[in-house]
Structures are given as structure tokens and as C-alpha cells.
Amino acid sequence: MNSIQLLAAAFVLGLVGLTSGQLVSPGICQNFPVHVNFDVPRYLGLWYEIRRYEQVFQRGGECVTAEYSLNDDGSVRVFNSMLVPPGQVRQSDVGRAVVAFPDESPLEAKLNVTFDATATDISANYWVLGTDYDSYAVVWGCFGVGTTLRAESAWILSRTPTLTPQAEAEVQRYVDLYLSEDDLRPTVQNLDFCCTIDPEVTAYPQCPTQ
Ligand SMILES: *[C@@H]1O[C@H](CO)[C@@H](O)[C@H](O)[C@H]1NC(C)=O
């Protein structure tokens, strides 16, 4: 890029940064292969976030969990929750996801997710690049910014607060192929740190009473 393009990119980045804050780079969104024969019921339930591309809506968030369940209309209820230190209270967001191309066979693990609790309707694509349902999931999303830039999101999810070495190895294959390792920031999932004082939170142990 020349300096004018860099300036333009910085400007667009600034604008994008207000609403998203994903990993922004030149180029159009990649068409990565996704997990197929997607089994939505097996994907439901609790996931712990292990690493992510930093997001404005998640800035500084630790002890992040995502919980997926079925809505009455067959869509997926997305319940994201995190702790932003030094705060002690978990923050959460509820979204709704639908399979992007429900008539495709085999069914691709592509979801469209919307969060409308925020001032602006945020709609994003959520592609599961790989999962074994029982231990790990590698999730990626991307949208175009103007005609020359893209903004990517990525999340490494685990059924348990830490990945087993086997799951870690599986995840690494996807990271090497499709993600930018240096931009994946680790999420704290230390149980002493993530303990909760909220009896409704079941993903973490209750903090010892002083
Ligand atoms: C999901 O989003 C894509 C565009 O990214 C669109 O083509 C598709 O129709 C959407 N699917 C549903 C079920 O809304």
C-alpha cells in the first residue's frame, strides 16, 4: 500500500473501530471451507472461549462463555457472558442465530447471528471451520469494509475451561490454515479468577466467601 492508501485504510479502520474492532486487513473476505453435516443439537450447550481476535464489544473481557440453546421458532439463542476486570459483575448479551443456508445438502456450519440489544442492529456471519462438538470449535466470521478491506472475527471455543492436548492439536491445524496466530489473544479461564458470586452462573464455581 502507498501512503495515501494507508491513510484511507486508517480512516476506514477508525470508523470501523467504533462499531466492531475486528481484525481488519486489505482484501475481500476469504471463502474458507467450513464444517459440514452440521449437527445443530450437538453444537448447543456451553462453550468456554479459549482465544479470540479482540473485539470492541468484548474489549478486555475474560472468563468468556457462549451458551447456545433452541428458541421456540427453531432458531438458536445465543447467550454470551464475560467478566471485564476489575469489575466483579458478569456482562451478557443475547443474540439469535439461524443456519445461513438451511436447504444446502450437506448442511454447512454457517450461521447468521444478530444482536439487537445494541443501538445498531449488529448482524454477522458465524462460520464453524471445525468442531468435534464434544471438545472444541474453531469459529470465524468476516464482513467487507468498503470494497478493499475486510474485518475478521475468530473464536476458539472449548467445552471445558482448558483444551485437552488432543483438542489443542486439532485446533492448531485450523489456526495454521486459516487464522492469524499473532492476533489470537488468550482468554483467562482460570477458575480462581473466574469464580462467580452470582448463584445463577453455573459455568464457574462460586467464589469462596471471605
Ligand atoms: C444469511 O446471510 C447470507 C448473507 O451473508 C444470506 O445470503 C442468507 O440468505 C442468510 N440466511 C438466512 C436464513 O437469513
Burial class (CB in 10 A: 0-12, 13-18, 19+), 85: exposed
pTM of the model: 0.88
Would you say 136 and 157 are in contact if contact means Cβ atoms under 8 Å apart?
yes
More confidently predicted of 15 and 26: 26
128-162 pLDDT per residue, tens: 999 999 999 999 999 888 889 999 999 999 999 99
> Which residue CA neighbors atom 7 of ligand 1 most closely?
100
* Model pLDDT for residues 178-196, shown as the tens digit of each residue: 999 999 999 999 999 999 9
Can you read off the three cell numbers belonging to residue 175?
489456526
Answer whether 170's CB lies under 8 Å from 158's CB: no
CATH class of this structure's domain 20-195:
mainly beta
- Select the more confidently predicted residue: 75 or 122: 75
Q: Which of 56-65, 105-114, 124-133, 167-176 has the lowest mean pLDDT?
A: 56-65
- Of ligand 1's listed atoms, the one at least distance from the Cα of 102 is 13
Q: What is the pLDDT of residues 58-93, one digit of tens each?
A: 788 999 999 999 999 999 999 999 999 888 889 998
Number of Cβ atoms within 10 Å of the Cβ of 51: 20
Closest ligand 1 atom to Cα of 110: 1
Note the pLDDT of residue 210.
67
Q: Are 46 and 159 in contact (CB under 8 A)?
A: yes
pLDDT-above-90 percentage for the chain: 71
Cα 195 from chain centre? 22
User: Cα angle vertex 37, ends 155, 96, to 5°?
Assistant: 50
What confidence score (pLDDT) does residue 147 get?
87
Nearest CA to ligand 1 atom 13: 100
Q: How close is the Cα of 32 to the center of ligand 1, in Å? A: 16
